[in-house]
């Protein structure tokens, strides 16, 4: 039996709360290190989360010969140096979303990955949610017939005039961080569209800032990035798709992904970010049916379990089964079996679409990629 792959996580926030349990649910993987920016917080995180080793310098973690995979957390401008250090040391890398603050950083990381020859994956795990996996299989099996189009929307009140629901995400307000509704929420949905329908050939968009102030603990955050984005996409296959992202929409419907064709329609829905335990699948092949009244389709057991994984699809941990599925593909690819996804090549393409959408919105035109 091969020794377990040793993972070092950079982040005691999202990385420890969501990624750590997903890594620990897998056979053949061991989380051996955690890294934060200061010795005292690193030591506390290692103690709190029962991780053997603490680092306060990501470069030291990247260089350590007893670590195989570096899981990079935090915001895109800070992650760039972490990813480059890890790839430079020949490590396998798991990187967050948005992939990069801009296209130059995205291209540099992708070039470094190709030079390193290691496995590198991004945190776009919507495509691994069981409802989405089953939905794609049904489409490929012809359940809706010839595919005519798709739309995906993620509209939630992360921020409102009354409250900032996610204080940890106030970095979203600063354009220097490579943030916006289209770059953050939109990147996740673009990965899903590319996974289902292939690369994007052209895009046009409208993006703007509606809510000018976010209240936070007696002070006011003044965002300088678009909080809503509408994208029209044409895939290389010719298929048209549409994307809506909005993080300040009071009463927003959460997440919805609808695909229709010559024989029917399928739709995945989730109250906020789609997770294994709360994303439901609906569909109809009734040509006379109008409106949203579609029947719910049960998720088959084969999509609710993962070989070599001890997580449960019904448990409410953030993204656990979907994250574990992405991690498992990464583990297997490192072992020479299968392919890891979504990899840095897909992430670079999504970044190209994100940047093209920003240009399209500013210049009021279609952009060919």
Q: Is residue 159 part of a domain?
A: yes
For 207-229, write each residue's pLDDT tens digit. Answer: 999 999 999 988 999 999 999 99
Of the three residues 86, 118, 150, the one that is the final residue of a domain is 118
What's the average model confidence in pLDDT over 6-11? 96
**112 and 197 housed in the same domain:** no
What's the average model confidence in pLDDT over 18-29? 93
What's the average model confidence in pLDDT over 314-342? 86
Spatial CB neighbours of 89, under 8 Å, sequence gap ≥ 6: 62, 63
Total domains in the chain come to 2
pLDDT of the residue at 14? 81
pLDDT of the residue at 316? 55
What's the average model confidence in pLDDT over 29-56? 96
Q: Is residue 343 part of a domain?
A: no
What's the average model confidence in pLDDT over 169-198? 96
Identify which of 29, 17, 184, 193 has the alpha carbon closest to the alpha carbon of residue 119: 29
pLDDT of the residue at 320? 83
pLDDT of the residue at 2? 82
**172 and 292 housed in the same domain:** yes
For 353-369, write each residue's pLDDT tens digit. Answer: 999 999 999 999 999 99
Backbone torsions φ then ψ of 107, nearest 5 degrees: -65, -40
What's the average model confidence in pLDDT over 154-180? 94
Of the three residues 118, 137, 172, the one that is the final residue of a domain is 118
Of the three residues 101, 118, 135, the one that is the final residue of a domain is 118
pLDDT of the residue at 290? 67
Spatial CB neighbours of 255, under 8 Å, sequence gap ≥ 6: 153, 154, 268, 269, 270, 271, 272, 273, 274, 279
- Cα–Cα distance measured from residue 240 to residue 235, given in angstroms and rounded to the nearest whole number: 6
Q: Is residue 369 part of a domain?
A: no
The answer, yes or no, to whether residue 312 has pLDDT greater than 90, is: no
Contact between 77 and 177 (Cβ < 8 Å): yes
337 pLDDT tier (thresholds 50, 70, 90): very high
Domain of residue 168 covers: 126-299+348-363
pLDDT of the residue at 293? 76
The answer, yes or no, to whether residue 196 has pLDDT greater than 60, is: yes
What's the average model confidence in pLDDT over 87-109? 97
pLDDT of the residue at 101? 96
Q: Both tokens of residue 303?
A: 């999509």
**93 and 164 housed in the same domain:** no
Neighbours of 249 (CB within 10 A): 23
pTM of the model: 0.96
**282 and 136 housed in the same domain:** yes
**67 and 150 housed in the same domain:** no
pLDDT, averaged across the chain: 94
Q: Is residue 185 part of a domain?
A: yes
Q: Is residue 43 part of a domain?
A: yes
319 pLDDT tier (thresholds 50, 70, 90): low
Q: Is residue 269 part of a domain?
A: yes
Backbone torsions φ then ψ of 268, nearest 5 degrees: -100, 140
The answer, yes or no, to whether residue 317 has pLDDT greater than 60, is: no
Instruction: Characterize the bridge pairing of strands 5-10 and 69-72.
Output: parallel
For 181-191, write each residue's pLDDT tens digit. Answer: 999 999 999 99
Distance from the Cα of residue 175 to its chain's centroid:
19
pLDDT of the residue at 82? 98
Q: Both tokens of residue 89?
A: 């040391």
**21 and 112 housed in the same domain:** yes
The answer, yes or no, to whether residue 16 has pLDDT greater than 70, is: yes
**79 and 185 housed in the same domain:** no
Instruction: Characterize the bridge pairing of strands 214-216 and 219-221.
Output: antiparallel
Q: Both tokens of residue 239?
A: 């298929």
Q: Is residue 191 part of a domain?
A: yes
Q: Is residue 331 part of a domain?
A: no
The answer, yes or no, to whether residue 245 has pLDDT greater than 90, is: yes
**142 and 59 housed in the same domain:** no
17 pLDDT tier (thresholds 50, 70, 90): confident
For 53-76, write each residue's pLDDT tens digit. Answer: 999 999 999 999 999 999 998 899
**26 and 61 housed in the same domain:** yes
For 126-138, write each residue's pLDDT tens digit. Answer: 999 999 999 999 9
Give the domain CATH number at 147.
3.30.360.10
What's the average model confidence in pLDDT over 341-359? 98
Give the domain CATH number at 107.
3.40.50.720
**89 and 148 housed in the same domain:** no
**154 and 282 housed in the same domain:** yes
Strand order in the sheet with 265-270: 295-297, 280-284, 265-270, 254-261, 147-155, 240-246, 228-235, 200-208, 367-368
**227 and 358 housed in the same domain:** yes
């Amino acid at each position: 039996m091969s020794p377990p792959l040793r993972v070092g996580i950079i982040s005691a926030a999202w990385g420890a709360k969501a990624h750590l349990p997903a890594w620990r649910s897998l056979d053949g993987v061991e989380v051996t290190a955690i890294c934060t920016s200061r010795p005292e917080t690193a030591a506390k995180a290692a103690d709190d989360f029962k991780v053997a080793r603490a680092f306060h310098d990501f470069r030291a973690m990247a260089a350590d010969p007893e670590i195989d995979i570096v899981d990079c957390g935090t915001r895109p401008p800070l992650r760039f140096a972490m990813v480059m250090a890890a790839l430079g040391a020949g490590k396998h890398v798991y990187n967050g979303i948005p992939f990069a603050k801009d296209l130059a950083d995205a291209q540099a990381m992708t070039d470094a990955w190709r030079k390193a020859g290691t496995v590198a994956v991004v945190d776009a795990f919507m495509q691994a949610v069981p409802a989405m996996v089953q939905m794609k299989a049904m489409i490929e099996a012809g359940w809706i017939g010839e595919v005519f189009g798709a739309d995906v929307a993620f509209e939630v009140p992360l921020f409102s005039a009354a409250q900032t629901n996610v204080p940890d995400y106030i970095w979203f307000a600063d354009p220097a961080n490579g943030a916006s509704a289209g770059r953050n929420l939109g990147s996740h949905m673009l990965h899903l569209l590319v996974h289902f329908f292939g690369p994007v050939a052209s895009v046009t968009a409208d993006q703007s800032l509606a809510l000018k102030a976010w209240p936070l603990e007696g002070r006011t955050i003044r965002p300088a990035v678009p909080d809503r984005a509408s994208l029209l996409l044409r895939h290389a296959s010719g298929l048209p798709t549409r994307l809506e992202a909005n993080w300040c929409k009071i009463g927003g419907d959460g997440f919805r992904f609808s695909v229709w064709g010559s024989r029917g329609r399928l739709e995945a829905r989730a109250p906020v970010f789609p997770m294994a335990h709360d994303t439901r699948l609906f569909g109809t092949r009734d040509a006379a049916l109008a409106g949203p009244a579609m029947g719910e389709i049960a998720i088959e057991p084969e999509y609710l379990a993962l070989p070599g994984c001890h997580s449960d699809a019904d448990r409410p941990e953030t993204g656990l089964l979907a994250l574990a599925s992405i991690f498992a593909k990464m583990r297997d690819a490192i072992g020479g079996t299968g392919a890891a996804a979504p990899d840095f090549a897909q992430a670079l393409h999504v970044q190209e679409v994100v940047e093209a959408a920003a240009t399209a919105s500013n210049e009021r035109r279609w952009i060919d990629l």
